[in-house]
């Protein structure tokens, strides 16, 4: 009898050990070791800074180090392509966003992942609006001035490149407002802003962190914000209207989100979400983010985050298709 029981125990243990998920399914309570957090941008870029702030808070709250690993490349897709191949044990996550979770999968035929089905959404961690800006010397003093000019003569706009968020934002605006404008793509926001200030083209949608400094120093003028409402939290922008006040339903923002690979256990996702929400309640962190141009929604939940990413993907896909946006 004892021999039979022992044999059954050995067989059961052998079967359990052969299961691909056994190594982590039977492990000690998570987190038992450091967690790697992939970021698809270089150190110092906005998504990287936001990820590091949250990782510091997660480290304090959950008792293990959350270590950022910068993995730029392929239009920020490399980090997502890496994460999708990892097992969902909670020890590899990604701080992604509108680039690799919202735009790239619909812009590139070979992205290699589905932003909805291949990842477990934990939390959208911030929204970064864009501003419709002109140089201070521009003849366009208001949003209406610009639109009237677009309807009567040739007007040009710049962007950080084909398929980037501010290109998508402008094309979405063109479609919704029924405007015709010539696009001049650059290799990044910085050279585009430099040429805007130099008068090489008429306007652009620029991310708030990229242009707020020039607005404060008087080199740029903001005509509108791409967010759903005015940015009252930033004094210099309180009188700047939202594009949606003129074009009903318009909103196009960049955003960041924490995700894991599909199959991430519900208890791990819940622990991460709870810790992130706790950080979002921290007034000091929220104020720090506002100064960066990153706005935290304290009412955000995992379910709302999933719905947000799905809806944003549908919107970006529609704009890319209708505006016929392609990349080389």
Q: What does the pLDDT look like over 135-183, one tens digit per residue?
A: 999 999 999 999 999 999 999 999 999 999 999 999 999 999 999 999 9
Per-residue pLDDT at 14 exceeds 70: no
Residue 159: the pLDDT is 96
Tokens of 235: 């004094």
Residues 100-113 as b or e (16 or more Cβ within 10 Å = b): bbbbbbbbeeebbb
Residue 75: the pLDDT is 76
Residue with tokens 């404060």: 216
Q: What is the mean pLDDT of residues 42-56?
A: 93
Higher pLDDT, 267 or 26: 267
Name the percent of the chain lying above pLDDT 90. 84
Residue 250: the pLDDT is 98
Does 130-245 match 32-128+254-322 at the fold level? yes
pLDDT digits (tens, 9 = 90+) for 118-129: 999 999 999 999
The model's confidence at residue 109, banded by pLDDT at 50, 70 and 90, is confident
What's the rounded Cα separation, in Å, for the pair 140 and 145? Answer: 5
Q: How many CB atoms lie within 10 A of CB 45?
A: 16
Per-residue pLDDT at 286 exceeds 50: yes
Q: What is the mean pLDDT of residues 205-214?
A: 93
Q: How many CB atoms lie within 10 A of CB 300?
A: 20
Per-residue pLDDT at 19 exceeds 70: no
Higher pLDDT, 268 or 76: 268
How wide is the angle at C-alpha 61 spanned by C-alphas 58 and 62, nearest 5°?
80
The model's confidence at residue 46, banded by pLDDT at 50, 70 and 90, is confident
Residues 6 or more apart whose Cβ sits within 8 Å of residue 97: 47, 76, 254, 255, 256, 257
Higher pLDDT, 47 or 1: 47
Residue 17: the pLDDT is 43
Per-residue pLDDT at 20 exceeds 60: no
Residues 6 or more apart whose Cβ sits within 8 Å of residue 328: 162
What is the end-to-end Cα distance of the chain in Å, rounded?
Answer: 71
Residue 149: the pLDDT is 98
Q: CB–CB of 193/116 below 8 Å?
A: no
Nearest one of 126, 62, 60 to 95, comparing CA atoms? 126
Residues 6 or more apart whose Cβ sits within 8 Å of residue 57: 275, 276, 278, 279, 282, 285
Cα 29 to Cα 64, 165, 267: the distances in Å are 12, 40, 10
What kind of architecture, by CATH, is found in domain 32-128+254-322? 3-Layer(aba) Sandwich (3.40)
Residue 6: the pLDDT is 41
CATH superfamily ID and name for 130-245:
Periplasmic binding protein-like II (3.40.190.10)
Write the burial class of residue 178 (CB in 10 Å: 0-12 exposed, 13-18 middle, 19+ buried). Answer: exposed
Q: How many CB atoms lie within 10 A of CB 123?
A: 27
Residue 27: the pLDDT is 54
Q: Give the start-to-end residue ranges of the domains of the chain.
A: 32-128+254-322, 130-245
Mean pLDDT of the chain: 91
């Amino acid at each position: 009898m004892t021999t039979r029981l022992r044999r059954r125990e050995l067989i059961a243990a052998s079967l359990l050990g052969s299961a691909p998920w056994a190594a982590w399914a039977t492990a000690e309570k998570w987190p038992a070791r450091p967690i790697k957090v992939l970021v698809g941008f270089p150190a110092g870029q906005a998504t990287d800074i936001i990820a590091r702030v949250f990782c510091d808070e997660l480290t304090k709250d959950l008792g293990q180090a959350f270590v950022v690993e910068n993995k730029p490349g392929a239009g920020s897709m490399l980090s997502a392509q890496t994460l999708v191949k990892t097992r969902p044990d909670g020890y590899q996550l990604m701080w992604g966003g509108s680039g690799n979770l919202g735009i790239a999968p619909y812009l590139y035929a070979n992205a290699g992942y589905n932003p909805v089905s291949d990842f477990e959404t934990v939390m959208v961690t911030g929204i970064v609006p864009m501003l419709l800006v002109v140089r201070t010397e521009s003849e366009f003093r208001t949003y209406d001035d610009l639109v009237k000019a677009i309807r009567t003569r040739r007007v040009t706009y710049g962007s950080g490149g084909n398929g980037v968020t501010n290109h998508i934002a402008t094309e979405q605006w063109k479609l919704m407002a029924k405007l015709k404008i010539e696009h001049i793509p650059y290799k990044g926001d910085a050279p585009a802003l430099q040429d805007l200030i130099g008068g090489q083209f008429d306007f652009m949608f620029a991310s708030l962190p990229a242009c707020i400094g020039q607005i404060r120093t008087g080199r740029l003028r903001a005509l509108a914000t791409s967010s759903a409402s005015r940015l009252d939290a930033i004094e210099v922008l309180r009188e700047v209207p939202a594009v949606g006040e003129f074009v009903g339903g318009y909103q196009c923002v960049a955003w960041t989100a924490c995700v894991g690979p599909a199959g991430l256990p519900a208890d791990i996702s819940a622990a991460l979400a709870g810790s992130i929400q706790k950080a979002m309640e921290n007034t000091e962190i929220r104020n720090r983010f506002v100064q960066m141009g990153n706005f935290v929604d304290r009412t955000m939940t995992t379910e709302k985050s999933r719905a947000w990413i799905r809806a944003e993907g549908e919107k970006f896909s529609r704009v890319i298709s209708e505006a016929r946006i392609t990349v080389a």
